[in-house]
Amino acid sequence: MLNDHDKFPYIYQMGTKDTSLTLAMVSLMVHYTWNWVGLVISDDDQGIQFLADLREEMQRNGICSAFVNVVPVNNQLYLRRHGIYDKHIMTSSANVIIMYGDTSSTLDETIRMLQYLGTGKIWVTTTQWYDISSKRYISLDSFHRTFTLSQHHGDIYGFKKFIQTLKSSKYLEDISLENLGWMYFNCSVSKSKWNTLYNFSSNISLELFTKHTFDVALSEESYHIYNAAYVVAYSLHELLLQQVDIVYMLVDNRPQSDCGKLNHLMKNIQFTNPVGDLVDMNQKRKLDPECDIFNLWDFQESWQVKVKTGQFSPYRPQGQQLQLLDDMVEWIPGSGQIAPSVCSVTCIPGFRKSRQEGKPPCCFDCIPCPENEISNFTADMEQCLKCPEDQYANTEQTHCLQRAITFLAYEEPLGMALACMAMCFFTLTCLVLGVFVKHHDTPIVRANNHALSYILLISLIFCFLCSLLFLGHPNIATCILQQTTFGVVFTVAISTILAKTITVVLAFKLTTPRKRMRWLLVSGAPNFIIPICILIQLILCGVWLGTSPPFIETDSHSEHGRIIIVCNKGSVSAFYCVLGFLGSLALGSFTIAFFARKLPDKYNEAKFLTFSMLVFCSVWVTFLPVYHSTKGKVMVAVEVFSILSSSAGLLGCIFVPKCYVIFLRPDRDSIPKYRDRIIS
């Protein structure tokens, strides 16, 4: 309302808007990392405007209000609510409370009540609350950790000496011993001593109290009055200078007062006062004032002193506007530790903030960062940072470490064990092949179609060798050869067993002269199964390589701190088609051999073929769930182990019994008296 110069043309606002005050208070909060504060504001126009500006600045800097007590100016309304206000202050977890309002308002009553309750809080307010403490009998003992802020101004030369040498006889109405007692002794002087002081001469000065420390700095309100007096003085002086030329033309030699001219001069006057501060009455040219920050120090006998500990200037660069002497701030007596005022404890590195539902942003829980994510740059991170693919998070999740590149190598124990198994079985198969070649004329070798046995043994040799393709550092060539070689050599082995199984059945079912299909056995038709099956498998592999061939893949999730280089199969469907074709061949061989297992003959191997297919199918049926439940090197090891175990099962079930007869039971490897059916 006072800004309406049409309604109030002769109103001059000496004070400035409290913009710097809100900035200084929030800067103080940020400096001491106080993000959970209570607000006690008087319910008037100035207080509401201050609250709006303060909230905006607090929100900009991530500071939350634990409670907001807007204290009504109506005394009856205040009396009905004061219990709620006191409870907010006493029970709040906020250790810092900002207080702003008129010292003559009901806020005065709130302060009186809190001094008896003993809050133990840190108060941030304006210096007027300290300045009026003695006049309104408010003891600030309960507010020993108080910060007060006021507009910066210089010291008035001679003011302190003037106060100290002021004699009560000269200003009898303004100075009395009673007021001095409340102001400087804070009611701590005993009654007997006070009576002694009262009996002193009335012509007494404040030099009596120089042994006590008391504040003689000019208050903010007094400083505005001081400037107002100088504004009037400078304006009158300028008016008199303008009238000096015409003073002798008047009958009355005294200068004439002209309110209109004086008002015009006061509107635009600008000067530097004796303190050295610029005074400008043009509201548009007024600059935001700098703020001084004071801290109340406790001394013995409940004495307190207001000590300047810092300054806020809105004209300094960002980050340097607030300058504080932290060593000059008095915290808990005997401790230099800054009192905290936060809703939630700061999240340490390795954790991130998780907002609490329905609460301000300053209230949160600290939860660990997800796997392979870190938080180490600043406290209270909203989101953790994901480590690059070639790095991993340490156990504390505070730093990313370089991953070690690994694969199923020959040098490590698992790779070495699998390679040794492959070479042992390879050597054993070569020995069995040598035995069969050496004893190719024996009945047991001839009776089981030695040509198919040689093919089967050679294919098993390659089965054991192909497992070595899965070991060592993968590359494009080995990735392609792994699956195609595995599919083709196992197709040869299983199709050979299928051919042997059909041959056995034909040998006992279709070799009599009355059988029309005897020519199938004589012509060697079962042997054509092998190339046919190989051709089908080659077509499947060709389609696989043509559509989605295997490729090198890096796996950074299976092992902590390692990057595993593996071969991705490309098309999973094609891989299962190859595996499914092998399974169908094995199932066919198993079915035929199962029905032929009871055929009578001395050298009938249908039982061995049945058992070998049972072992083969068991291995690969078990392989599927185990393969899908593992990752990285273990997945590769499972496939290698399945290749070795299934190949070893075929070797052991089909050829070990024959070698047993050849070496340990040669008496069974002879032509009996009656003629056996020998299949050559």
519: pLDDT strictly greater than 80: no
With a pLDDT cut of 90, the percent of the chain lying above it is 10
pLDDT digits (tens, 9 = 90+) for 468-478: 998 988 888 88
Instruction: Please tell me the distance from the alpha carbon of residue 381 to that of residue 371, in angstroms, as a whole number.
Output: 16
Please tell me the predicted confidence (pLDDT) of residue 136: 42
Q: Tell which residue, 431, 505, 435, 497, has the closest CA to residue 464.
A: 431
Name, of 123-137, 284-298, 479-493, 552-566, the range with top average pLDDT. 479-493
The residue that leads in pLDDT, 260 or 506, is: 260
620: pLDDT strictly greater than 80: yes
Q: Tell which residue, 297, 289, 323, has the closest CA to residue 28.
A: 323
pLDDT digits (tens, 9 = 90+) for 357-416: 888 888 888 899 888 888 876 666 788 888 888 888 888 888 888 888 888 888 888 889
Name the average pLDDT for the chain: 77
* Range of weakest confidence among 56-70, 331-345, 508-522: 508-522
User: Are the C-beta atoms of residues 203 and 168 closer than 8 Å to each other?
Assistant: yes
Instruction: Please tell me the distance from the alpha carbon of residue 255 to that of residue 236, in angstroms, as a whole number.
Output: 11
Mean pLDDT, rounded, for 312-323 = 86
Please tell me the predicted confidence (pLDDT) of residue 210: 47
Name, of 160-169, 210-219, 303-312, 618-627, the range with top average pLDDT. 618-627
Q: Are strands 373-374 and 385-386 parallel, antiparallel or unpaired?
A: antiparallel
Mean pLDDT, rounded, for 518-540 = 74
The residue that leads in pLDDT, 130 or 255, is: 130
Instruction: Please tell me the distance from the alpha carbon of residue 75 to that of residue 109, in angstroms, as a whole number.
Output: 10
Please tell me the predicted confidence (pLDDT) of residue 420: 94
* Range of weakest confidence among 40-54, 446-460, 660-674: 660-674
Instruction: Please tell me the distance from the alpha carbon of residue 558 to that of residue 638, in angstroms, as a whole number.
Output: 15
Confidence of residue 172 (pLDDT cuts 50, 70, 90): low
What pTM was computed for the model? 0.60
Please tell me the predicted confidence (pLDDT) of residue 135: 43
549: pLDDT strictly greater than 60: yes
326: pLDDT strictly greater than 70: yes
- Alpha helices by DSSP H, listed for 136-190, are 159-164, 177-184
User: Are the C-beta atoms of residues 592 and 497 closer than 8 Å to each other?
Assistant: no
Please tell me the predicted confidence (pLDDT) of residue 90: 83
Please tell me the predicted confidence (pLDDT) of residue 279: 85
548: pLDDT strictly greater than 60: yes
Confidence of residue 677 (pLDDT cuts 50, 70, 90): very low
Q: Tokens 């008391």 appear where? A: 214
559: pLDDT strictly greater than 50: yes
Confidence of residue 134 (pLDDT cuts 50, 70, 90): very low
Mean pLDDT, rounded, for 145-160 = 77
Instruction: Please tell me the distance from the alpha carbon of residue 281 to that of residue 257, in angstroms, as a whole number.
Output: 21
